[in-house]
Amino acid sequence: DLITLTRSGLPASHVLSDQLRLGSTATGDLTLLLTAIQVTSKFIATNVRKARLINLVGLAGETNVQGEEQKKLDVLSNDIMVNALRASGKTAVLVSEELEDAIIIEEEKRGKYCVVFDPLDGSSNIDAGVNIGTIFGIYKIQPGSKGTIEDVLRPGSEMVAAGYTMYGSSANLVLSTGSGVNGYTLDAALGEFILTHPNITIPPRGKIYSFNEGNAMYFYPPVTAYLKSIKYPASPKSPYSARYIGSMVADVHRTLLYGGIFGYPNDKKSKHGKLRLLYEAFPMAFLTEQAGGIATTGTKRILDIVPTDIHERCSVFLGSRDDVLDVIKFFKEVP
Ligand code: AHM
Ligand code: MG
């Protein structure tokens, strides 16, 4: 009994039955929007697979055999998402990492959801063929609103759904609509996302830490002290293993499945951190909490932050409950 994300052909989708179980007054619009998003993921996954081949053609004169101009994968992914989300008729506001301004959808195509997204995250890994991904978060417009920027300048706790698709050895879509986290794997032959990781739950403590320690000379004392504590633990404890891919989607995916901690702190060089609040930190914090973990800036729950700018950044520590509680303790104790 294969469960697909949309359970095509059946009256209730897996996502929709989630909503019904929650007793929501769902009209099916969110399901249709998520269906549009999963189509974009399939499309982007296909392009990621072909990227190197297309680039080879592009090298000959920067146009492909059809005479079309080559687009960089991140720009192409952005276009795919913007076009598909607008065409779905279910969106009112779109915010993309690739676009400086938010897109307010014209009235004829307007729906009641806002989607914030990073179409292709992990830019430094794209050309090396290392895992990359799409991250997204969804808000419902506020009652009475026609869809303005105010509808997305809201705490992450008000998102109605969040997820990511990781493009790796397989394409994995991980999604929460607020009642736990489920993971789906794209069966390329069927063209369907199949439920392969039902009810993802982060182990309460892990053995892996995931930080870009190349920034260590800029780290503030609580972070330095925390990292020292897991690398040089008092006997008989063993030190943690280091794993850092440099694609948030991949590093968070591993953290959700294996446990441990992922961190991208602000530091003396990047005063506000590197990761973007709206379409990187919020969706990942939403998924982490839904999987039983914690996501903090070190001093504040990430999902409680009220954004003031669509592209603002924030410090991020997320993962296993006990590991993140340790970080919070260091922030309280180390000046
Ligand atoms: P991007 O949006 O330019 O791809 O940057 C975001 C990425 C995240 O995926 C990852 O966690 C982080 O940047 C890695 O940064 P660094 O290369 O500084 O370690
Ligand atoms: Mg990004």
d(CA 248, CA 123): 10
Greater pLDDT, 211 or 124: 211
> Which residue has a Cα nearest atom 14 of ligand 1?
246
How confident is the model at residue 11, as a pLDDT? 35
How confident is the model at residue 24, as a pLDDT? 52
- Across the chain, mean pLDDT equals 90
How confident is the model at residue 10, as a pLDDT? 36
Task: Measure 274 CA to ligand 1 centroid, in angstroms.
Answer: 7
Q: Is 212 in the pocket of ligand 1 (CB under 6 A)?
A: yes
Q: Is 245 in the pocket of ligand 1 (CB under 6 A)?
A: no
Residue 251 CA, closest ligand 1 atom number: 11
ipTM: 0.96
> Which residue has a Cα nearest atom 12 of ligand 1?
246
Q: Is 123 in the pocket of ligand 1 (CB under 6 A)?
A: yes
Burial 14-38 (b: 16+ CB within 10 A, else e): bbbebbeeeeeeeeebbbbbbbbbb
d(CA 295, CA 252): 11
Q: What is the pLDDT of residues 281-293, one digit of tens each?
A: 999 999 999 999 9
Task: Measure 16 CA to ligand 2 centroid, in angstroms.
Answer: 29
Per-residue confidence at 26, pLDDT binned at 50, 70, 90? Answer: low
Please list the helix, strand and coil fractions of the chain in percent, rounded to the nearest 5, in that order. Answer: 35, 20, 40
Q: What is the pLDDT of residues 57-94, one digit of tens each?
A: 444 445 554 555 556 888 889 999 999 999 999 999 99
Q: Can you give the C-alpha Rg of the chain in angstroms?
A: 20
How confident is the model at residue 25, as a pLDDT? 52
Q: What is the pLDDT of residues 199-257, one digit of tens each?
A: 999 999 999 999 999 999 999 999 999 999 999 999 999 999 999 999 999 999 999 99
**pLDDT of residue 154 exceeding 90:** yes
Beta strands 241-242 and 208-210 are parallel
Helix axes of 282-290 and 248-258: crossing angle, nearest 10 degrees: 10
**pLDDT of residue 17 exceeding 60:** no
